[in-house]
Structure 1
Amino acid sequence: MAARTSTPALVTGVVPQVNLMPRAAIERRERAVLLRHWAWGLAAALAAVAIVSAGAFVLQTTAQVRLAVEQTRTSDLLGQVAELQPVGAKVALQSELADFRAQAMGTDVTWRRLIAEIDGTLPSGIAVTEYRLAPGGLPVADVDPTTSTGVKGLVVLSGSSPVDIVEIIRDVRSLEDVRFADGWAQSSVEDAYRFELRIEFDQTVYTGEFAPEAVE
C-alpha cells in the first residue's frame, strides 16, 4: 500500500495585513496620544484647582461678611454701653447713698414713743422731765434684736410727792423692750422730788425705716 503525503490545509477568510507605516509615524502617533492624555489630566487638575479656589474664595467672602456684621454689632453694643455709663454711675451712687443712709440711720429711734412708753408705767403725779439716752450699735443680720442693746442712758423723773421708786423700777422692767432698769439716785428740793432711772432698751425700739431692702 502506498504511503499518503500530507498537504497543508488552505485557510480561507483571513485577509493578510501588513503595517506599512514608518516607525517614526507610529512613534509620533503614540506621542500624540500621550500628550492628549497629559492634556486631559492637566485640564482636570486645573479644573479641580479652580473649583477649590472658588470654594475657598466663597468661604473667605462669607467669613469677611460675618466678621463685618459682628464688628458692626460690637460697635453698636459698645455705643449702647457708653450711653448707659451715666445711668450706671447714677445707680452706683444711689446704692452708695442707700448704704450710707442705712449705716447713718440704722439706729433711728422714735424718742417720743420711748418716753411715752415709760410715762405709761409711772404713777400719778410723776412724769419724765429729762432724759439722756443714746442709741447702741447697728443691727446685725441674723441676730435676735432682743438680745442686743438698742438704747440706753438716764431718765429723770420728777413729782410733787415722794413715791416708791422700787415699784416704779419694777413696772419699767416689765416693759417688753426693756432689758435693764434700776434706780440711780433720788433727791428733793422744797416740794419737788427728783428720781434718776438708769434704763436699757433692746434693738426692737429701732424704727428700721432706713434698713436696706432684702434682695430676693
Structure 2
Amino acid sequence: MANAASALAFAGVPRVNLMPPAEIERRRRASLARGWVWGVLAAVVAAVLIIMGAFALKLVADQQLAAEQAQTNALITELSGLSEVSGALAAEQELESFRADALGGDYAWAPVVASLRSALPQDVTLTGWDVVSGGVPQSDDAAAEVGLTGTLTLESPTPIDLPATVRGIRSLPGVTLVDGRSLSTGQQTVGSYVYELDLTLDQSIYSGQYATQEGGN
C-alpha cells in the first residue's frame, strides 16, 4: 500500500478533459480566424505604407523636376537676352574675316620705294612702276609667298651697269626676283636712258595689320 501511495503522489492529480469536441473545434476555428484577420490587417498596413512611400518619392521627384524646369526656363531667358550680343559677335567676326580677305595684302608702298631707291646708283631715278599686290597670306612663311610683282622703270642721264644694279636690288630684304627685261643699255630718250626691271617681292612687306588673329573673338 505504501508503494501504491508513493506512485499516486508522483503521478499528480488526475485530470479529465470534459470539454465537448464541438467546443474544441469551435475554439480552433476561432483562433484560426483571428490569425487570418491579423494577417490581412498586416498586409493592408504594409500595402498602405508602400503606397505612402511611393507617393512621397513621387512628390520629391516632382519637386526636383519643377526646380530643374525653373532653372532651365531661367537659363533660356538669359540666353534669349544674350541673343543680340551673340548676333553682334557673329557680325563682328564676319566683318573681321571680310576685312582680312580684302586687306590681307596691305602694305606701305613708301618704305618699299625708299628701300628700292637705296640700292640704285647715284644718278639713277625710279620714275615709274606697274605692280600688282599678291594674295592673302596662306601660311606663316612670308618669304615663301609672293607679296608684290610687276615692273620698275629706271631713268639715268648716263648708261648704267645694269647687272650691278640688279645685284644691288636683289640683295634687299624681301626681294625674291629682279631682272632686266633686256641686257642692253636700254632705250635712249632725249638726254636720258630708260630701263625696265621685272621685280618680285615676298610677303614680308605686308603690314599684317588686318590679318585674322588666331583664337580671337
Shorter-chain TM-score tier: 0.7 to 0.9
Gaps of 5+ in 2: none
* C-alpha distance in 1 between matches for 2:20 and 2:143: 126
Aligned to 2:167: 170
| TM-score, scaled to structure 2 | 0.86
1:176 alignment partner, SS class: coil
What pairs up with 1:31-70 in 2 under 5 angstroms?
31-70=29-68
* C-alpha distance in 1 between matches for 2:164 and 2:36: 125
Aligned to 2:4: 9
1:9 alignment partner, SS class: helix
Q: CA deviation at 1:188?
A: 2.8
Aligned to 1:3: none
Aligned to 1:27: 25
| TM-score, scaled to structure 1 | 0.87
The one-letter code matched in structure 2 to 1:9 is: A
1:123 alignment partner, SS class: coil
What pairs up with 1:18-167 in 2 under 5 angstroms?
18-142=16-140, 144-167=141-164
Q: CA deviation at 1:159?
A: 3.4
Measured on the aligned residues, the alpha-carbon RMSD in Å equals 2.3
Which has more helix, going by share of residues? Answer: 2
Q: Moved runs in structure 1, 4+ residues, more than 6 A?
A: none
Percent identity over the alignment? 36
* C-alpha distance in 2 between matches for 1:21 and 1:182: 141
Q: Which moved more, 1:91-100 or 1:10-19?
A: 10-19
The one-letter code matched in structure 2 to 1:86 is: E
Q: What per-residue deviation string (whole Å, max 9, x for no partner) do you get for residues 133-184 of structure 1?
A: 1112322225x32122211101112233433333222211111211111122
The one-letter code matched in structure 2 to 1:33 is: S
1:132 alignment partner, SS class: strand
Q: How many residues align?
A: 210
* C-alpha distance in 2 between matches for 1:14 and 1:197: 147
2:82 alignment partner, SS class: helix
* C-alpha distance in 1 between matches for 2:187 and 2:78: 73
Q: CA deviation at 1:7?
A: 11
